[in-house]
Amino acid sequence: MASNPDLVQYIVDQCAGAGTITARKMFGDYGLYCNGVIFALVSDNRFYIKPTDAARPLLRSEVLEPPYEGAKPYFYIEEIDDRDYLSSLVKATYQALPLPKPKKKNKQSQ
């Protein structure tokens, strides 16, 4: 089941205190990015944050489950209405994740 774009935008807005939050559609669901780093997924209208040791102590309840079949477990975040809570989780997660590797430039032969 695809996620509702209005719900995704609501979650993006709720996390905005952590940095520049964007959503990209991926196979009917969404990847969420903070300052260009993917930190979460919205899958079947459920919000999942990548698990990190930095975010773990901030969780109100720790539920690890895969966002889709075959995926690694993520923290499932049920409480999406507390902007400060979500922003603190996103900040801690973002800071603990590695920066994306620079894209290699394609050499074209002439």
**DSSP codes, 20-69:** -EEEEEETTEEEEEETTEEEEEEETTEEEE---TTTGGG-SS--EE-SST
pLDDT tens digits for 52-95? 999 999 999 999 999 999 999 999 999 999 999 999 999 999 99
Say if residue 109's pLDDT is above 70: no
Q: What is the pLDDT of residue 107?
A: 61
Query: How far apart (Å, rounded) are the C-alpha atoms in residues 36 and 38?
Result: 7
pTM for the model: 0.87
